[in-house]
C-alpha cells in the first residue's frame, strides 16, 4: 500500500466483510458443527384474577409467605376463601387472601429469576400495603458469620428496609455477604427502592443448602418443620392478629406437600434474584 509522506493523517483503512462462502468452508471442514441461532425467550404474561365479587382490598397490613417457611406458617392459619390469584402465563403461582385485617399472599412456587421481579412488582402494585412482612427461609449450613456457632444455634434472622423500625430481642440480623435467592429478594428490593413502605423479611432456618432458583416454576414442597417456640417467635415478629395453630400446621404438612398448578392444558409447565 502506498503512503503519501506529506499526508496529515493516516490513510483510510477498509474492512472486507465475510460472506456465506466462509460458512460453507467451515461446514465442509467440520461437518459435525451446526450453526446455532439464539432463541429469544418471550416475556412472561403476569395478570391478576379476582375469584369473588369483591373488587377491593381493605387492609393496610400485608404478609407474603414464600418458600417452605412461608407455607408451613400458612398451614397453621385459618385462611378462608381465595380472593385473588396471580397468574404467570396462565398458571396460578400466588393465592391472595384477606382475613382479620391482613392481606395474605401465598407464593406456592419457586420462580425463575426472570419471573421474580415481575411477580413482586405486580404484587406490590396490587396490594399497596402500608407495611409488609415477608416470611421465607435461609440455609443455616451455608450462612457465613463472624461468630462460631454450634449445630443447634439456628436462629430466625431478619432483613429490613431503611424505613422499618423493626426490633426483636430474640431474632438476629441477616448480614452480608450472605444472599437471598428467592422472590423475597425481589420484594425487599422494590420496597427499598420504590417508595417508603416499611418492610421486614423474616427468615426461618433450614438445615440444608438451598439450590439455585429453577429455570421453570416448580411447586414448593414442605419437607421440614419448626418447633413451637420458633413459630411463636415468628408470630410475635410478624405482629399481626393472625392466630397460628401448630396442630393444624403439622396435619397440613403431613397430608400434602403443595397443590399442583392449575393448567390450561394437561402438560406440566416447568417454569436466580440477589440482594
Give the pLDDT confidence of 76-128 residue by residue, as tens digits: 999 989 999 999 999 999 999 999 899 999 999 999 999 999 999 999 999 99
Say what the pLDDT of residue 188 is: 97
* Residue 17 belongs to a domain: no
52 band by pLDDT with thresholds 50, 70 and 90: confident
Chain Cα centroid distance, residue 36: 32
Q: What is the CATH number of the domain that holds 171?
A: 3.40.50.10900
Residue 127: predicted pLDDT: 93
53-67, 136-150, 260-274: least confident range? 260-274
Buried-state track 48-62, b at ≥16 Cβ within 10 A, e below 16: eeeeeeeeebebebb
Task: Specify whether the CB–CB gap between 132 and 62 falls below 8 A.
Answer: yes
Strand 199-206 and strand 218-219: the pairing is: unpaired
Q: What's the pLDDT score for residue 211?
A: 87
Task: Give me the pLDDT at residue 2, please.
Answer: 62
So what's the pLDDT on residue 33?
56
User: Quick check: is 196 in a domain?
Assistant: yes
The yes-or-no verdict on residue 168 having pLDDT over 50 is: yes
- Per cent of the chain over pLDDT 90 is 56
pLDDT of amino acid 39: 77
Position 21 scores a pLDDT of 55
Q: What is the pLDDT of residue 266?
A: 34
Number of domains in the chain: 1
pTM strictly above 0.85: no
Q: Is residue 150 part of a domain?
A: yes
Assigned domain for 72 exists: yes
How does DSSP classify residue 271?
-
User: Is residue 105 domain-resident?
Assistant: yes
Strand partners, 85: 49, 95
Residue 31 confidence class, pLDDT cut points 50, 70, 90: low
Domain ranges, residue 207: 46-255
How far apart are the C-alpha atoms of 239 and 37, rounded to whole Å?
Answer: 53
Strand order in the sheet with 46-50: 46-50, 84-88, 91-99, 102-107, 61-66, 131-139, 199-206, 157-160, 172-173
Q: What percent of the chain has pLDDT over 70?
A: 75
In a domain, 247, yes or no: yes
Q: Is there a domain that residue 214 lies in?
A: yes
In a domain, 14, yes or no: no
Amino acid at each position: 500500500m502506498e503512503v503519501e509522506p506529506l499526508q496529515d493523517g493516516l490513510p483510510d483503512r477498509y474492512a472486507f466483510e465475510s460472506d456465506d462462502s466462509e460458512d460453507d468452508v467451515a461446514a465442509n471442514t467440520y461437518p459435525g458443527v451446526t450453526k446455532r441461532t439464539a432463541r429469544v425467550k418471550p416475556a412472561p404474561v403476569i395478570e391478576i384474577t379476582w375469584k369473588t365479587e369483591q373488587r377491593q382490598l381493605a387492609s393496610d397490613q400485608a404478609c407474603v409467605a414464600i418458600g417452605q417457611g412461608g407455607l408451613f406458617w400458612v398451614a397453621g392459619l385459618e385462611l378462608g376463601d381465595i380472593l385473588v390469584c396471580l397468574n404467570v402465563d396462565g398458571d396460578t403461582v400466588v393465592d391472595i387472601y384477606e382475613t382479620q385485617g391482613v392481606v395474605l399472599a401465598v407464593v406456592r412456587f419457586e420462580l425463575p429469576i426472570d419471573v421474580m421481579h415481575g411477580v413482586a412488582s405486580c404484587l406490590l402494585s396490587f396490594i399497596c400495603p402500608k407495611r409488609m412482612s415477608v416470611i421465607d427461609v435461609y440455609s443455616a449450613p451455608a450462612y457465613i458469620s463472624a461468630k462460631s456457632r454450634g449445630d443447634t444455634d439456628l436462629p430466625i434472622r431478619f432483613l429490613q428496609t431503611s424505613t422499618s423500625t423493626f426490633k426483636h430481642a430474640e431474632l438476629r440480623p441477616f448480614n452480608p455477604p450472605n444472599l437471598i435467592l428467592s422472590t423475597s429478594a425481589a420484594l425487599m428490593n422494590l420496597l427499598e427502592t420504590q417508595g417508603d413502605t416499611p418492610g421486614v423479611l423474616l427468615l426461618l432456618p433450614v438445615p440444608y443448602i438451598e439450590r439455585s432458583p429453577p429455570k421453570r416454576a416448580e411447586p414448593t414442597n414442605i419437607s421440614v418443620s419448626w418447633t413451637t417456640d420458633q413459630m411463636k417467635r415468628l408470630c410475635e415478629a410478624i405482629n399481626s392478629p393472625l392466630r397460628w395453630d401448630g396442630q393444624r400446621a403439622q396435619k397440613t404438612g403431613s397430608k400434602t406437600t403443595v397443590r399442583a398448578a392449575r393448567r390450561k392444558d394437561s402438560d406440566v409447565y416447568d417454569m436466580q434474584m440477589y440482594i
